[in-house]
Amino acid sequence: MVDLILFPSSFFSVKKIDEDLQSEYDAVRSTGLYDTIFFGYDKWFNEDKLVLSETPAAMRKAIMRGWMMKPSQYNQFYHKLLANKIELIVAPSEYEQMHIFPNAYKFFGDDTAFMKIYPLHEQIEISDVKKYFNRFLVKDFVKSVKGTEFPKFFDASVTQEEFDNWMEVFYKYRGNLLTGGICMKEFLSLKFYGERTNEYRVFYANGEIVSISRNSGQENFTPEPPKELVEKYRNLPSIYYTIDFAELADGTWKIMEAGDGSVSGLSEFQDAEQYFRALYYALND
């Protein structure tokens, strides 16, 4: 039975929910299906110390809802929780499989953008990159720096000097969150509805589709990704994960990202209570 959710606590008290996750916590409590335990946000992320609001009397299986960790940190977290009678449903190997996009990339074939990988903190020869891409975006193994002045994409006009200068900006923004290596991904032209693209996040758990939700602020009249494409990825090697799909300008669909379900956020207008009910029944079917 999976009926426990582990949340990060407020920075100020291990007995209170992280304020940014208040709406999720309220939705979980409203279902009446789960118990909840908090782990100390400050102690874990700043001191690598596990502090729990309570410890179960017997071993419990749990879902974690919270913030991203590097795979090595998640591995430590998982085993420290085991010592406190909490077994997360996502094993460390599963977390690394879906949280690190190059690990999941091999499953998607032509359903996702072409990608090349380069080492961290080494000069990337832009002449080599141009052999593979007309336009490309830059991210590490987990995230980009979207929402900053860093370019959304580069094209064949970029010089080595310009690219090197922009990579210094990239490293500054990612800071100690920098993970794995550098991914160069083909930049895809997305379809717009007004000022919004048409992107969807799909949560999968235990081989079931838990939710399909609009993930780019678009109106509710936009088409969903094709059913056969969503169904195709129900059985990847993790119990709990997400895949983000986007409609291209030509009306076809591609996978944009994948992620671990524990640290993937719900969409802006998603019904959280409905989501947690569906998650419960998927995991306990």
Q: Indicate whether 268 pLDDT > 90.
A: yes
The pTM of the full predicted model, rounded to 2 decimals, is 0.96
Percent of the chain with pLDDT over 70: 100
CA 285 to chain centre: 25
Q: Indicate whether 147 pLDDT > 90.
A: yes
| pLDDT for residue 28 | 98
CA 5 to chain centre: 18
Please give the average per-residue pLDDT across 66-81, as a whole number. Answer: 97
Query: What does the alpha-carbon distance between residue 4 and residue 144 come to, in Å, rounded to a whole number?
Result: 32
Q: 122 falls in which pLDDT band (50, 70, 90)?
A: very high
> 56: alpha, beta or left, given left = phi > 0 and alpha = psi -120 to 50?
beta
Q: Indicate whether 184 pLDDT > 90.
A: yes
Domains of the chain: 2-88 (no CATH), 98-109+190-283 (3.30.470), 114-186 (3.30.1490)
Query: What does the alpha-carbon distance between residue 78 and residue 76 come to, in Å, rounded to a whole number?
Result: 5
